C-alpha cells in the first residue's frame, strides 16, 4: 500500500475526527453519540484498507454491485474486528438478497415494496436487518426517499410506516436524509432540524418501533448535522480525497 495514500487518509481522518468532536462539544453531546461511517464508494481496496488501518470501523457503499465485489475482496485482509458495512444508496428489489446478505445496516429504505422484499430475504437468511427510513424533507425532486417535506403529510406518512411493524425481519432504527447541495453549510440546518422533528413525530405516532438513529451529514455539512442530532454521519470525500 502506498505510504502517500495511508498518510493522506490518516491526516484526513484526524481532521474529520477533530471536527466531529468540536461539533459534539458545541451541542453538548458526547462524542460516543455519533458514529462515523466512512463512505468508501468508488475508492480502491487499498484506500479502504488504509482507512481500516487508521481505525475506521464502519464503511458505506451506495451500489449493491460494489458491495458485492468489495466485501469478499477485502474479507481476508482484516487483522482484527471486521468493519461493518452500511448500504446507503437506493436498492433495486432484484438486489435485495445480496444487500441483506452483505450489509449490517441499510440507510436507504425508500419504499414499502422494498421493505417487503428485504423482509422476505432476511427471513430466508434467518437474519434481522437494521434499517433506516430514508426521507426527503427538502422537497428536491431528484431525491429518493419517502416524501416528507410537507408537515401536513406527516400523519399519512406515519400511517404508511405503521406497515413496517409487521416486518419481523427488519429492525427499524430511525431516519436518514440527504441535504441539498448548497454553498453555505449553515443553509442545510433547516433540513436537519426537520428530519429530527419528523423523527420525534414518528416516535410518538409509532412508539412500537425504535427511531433513535438519525443518519444525516456528509463531507460538506456534517458539523451542522452533528449539532442538530445526527447519530450517524456518512463522510466520503473529506476522508479519501486530498485537499
Residues that bind ligand PLP (CB under 6 A): 39, 41, 62, 88-89, 178, 218-219, 234-238
Q: Minimum Å distance from CB 207 to ligand PLP?
A: 28
Q: Minimum Å distance from CB 121 to ligand PLP?
A: 21
Task: Indicate the residue among 100 and 230 with the shorter CB distance to ligand PLP.
Answer: 230
Distance (Å, whole) CA 163 – CA 106? 18
Task: Indicate the residue among 65 and 159 with the shorter CB distance to ligand PLP.
Answer: 65
The C-alpha cell of 140 is what?
428536491
Mention every residue, 6+ apart, whose C-beta is less than 8 A from residue 64: 87, 91, 92, 95, 98, 99
Mention every residue, 6+ apart, whose C-beta is less than 8 A from residue 148: 135, 136, 137, 154, 157, 198
**Separation in Å, CA 77 to CA 40, 49, 70, 206, 231:** 16, 8, 11, 42, 28
Task: Indicate the residue among 199 and 234 with the shorter CB distance to ligand PLP.
Answer: 234
Q: Minimum Å distance from CB 22 to ligand PLP?
A: 18
Residue of 232, 243, 172, 242 whose CA lies nearest to 39: 232
Task: Indicate the residue among 83 and 89 with the shorter CB distance to ligand PLP.
Answer: 89
Task: Indicate the residue among 57 and 219 with the shorter CB distance to ligand PLP.
Answer: 219
Residue of closest CB approach to ligand PLP: 236
Judged by DSSP in three states, 87 sits in: strand
Judge residue 222's burial from the number of C-beta atoms within 10 Å of its C-beta, 0-12 exposed, 13-18 middle, 19 or more buried. Answer: buried
Task: Indicate the residue among 108 and 120 with the shorter CB distance to ligand PLP.
Answer: 108
Q: Minimum Å distance from CB 27 to ligand PLP?
A: 20
Q: Minimum Å distance from CB 234 to ligand PLP?
A: 4
DSSP 8-state symbol, 86: E
Q: Minimum Å distance from CB 193 to ligand PLP?
A: 19
Amino acid at each position: 500500500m502506498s505510504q502517500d495514500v495511508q498518510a493522506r487518509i490518516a491526516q484526513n481522518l484526524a481532521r474529520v475526527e477533530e471536527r466531529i468532536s468540536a461539533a459534539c462539544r458545541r451541542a453538548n453531546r458526547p462524542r460516543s453519540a455519533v458514529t462515523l461511517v466512512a463512505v468508501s464508494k468508488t475508492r480502491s481496496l487499498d484506500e479502504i484498507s488504509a482507512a481500516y488501518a487508521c481505525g475506521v470501523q464502519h464503511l458505506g457503499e451506495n451500489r449493491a454491485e460494489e458491495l458485492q465485489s468489495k466485501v469478499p475482496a477485502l474479507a481476508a485482509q482484516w487483522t482484527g474486528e471486521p468493519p461493518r458495512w452500511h448500504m446507503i444508496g437506493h436498492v433495486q428489489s432484484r438486489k435485495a438478497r445480496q444487500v441483506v446478505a452483505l450489509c449490517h445496516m441499510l440507510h436507504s429504505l425508500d419504499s414499502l415494496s422494498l421493505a417487503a422484499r428485504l423482509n422476505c430475504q432476511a427471513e430466508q437468511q434467518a437474519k434481522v436487518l437494521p434499517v433506516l427510513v430514508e426521507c426527503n424533507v427538502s422537497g428536491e425532486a431528484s431525491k429518493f426517499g419517502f416524501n416528507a417535506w410537507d408537515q401536513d403529510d406527516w400523519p399519512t406518512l406515519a400511517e404508511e410506516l405503521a406497515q413496517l411493524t409487521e416486518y419481523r425481519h427488519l429492525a427499524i432504527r430511525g431516519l436518514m436524509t440527504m441535504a441539498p447541495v448548497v454553498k453555505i453549510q449553515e443553509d442545510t440546518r433547516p433540513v436537519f432540524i426537520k428530519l429530527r422533528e419528523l423523527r420525534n413525530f414518528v416516535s410518538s405516532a409509532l412508539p412500537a418501533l425504535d427511531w433513535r438513529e438519525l443518519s444525516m451529514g456528509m463531507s460538506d455539512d456534517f458539523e451542522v448535522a452533528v449539532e442538530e442530532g445526527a447519530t450517524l454521519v456518512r463522510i466520503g470525500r473529506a476522508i479519501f480525497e486530498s485537499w
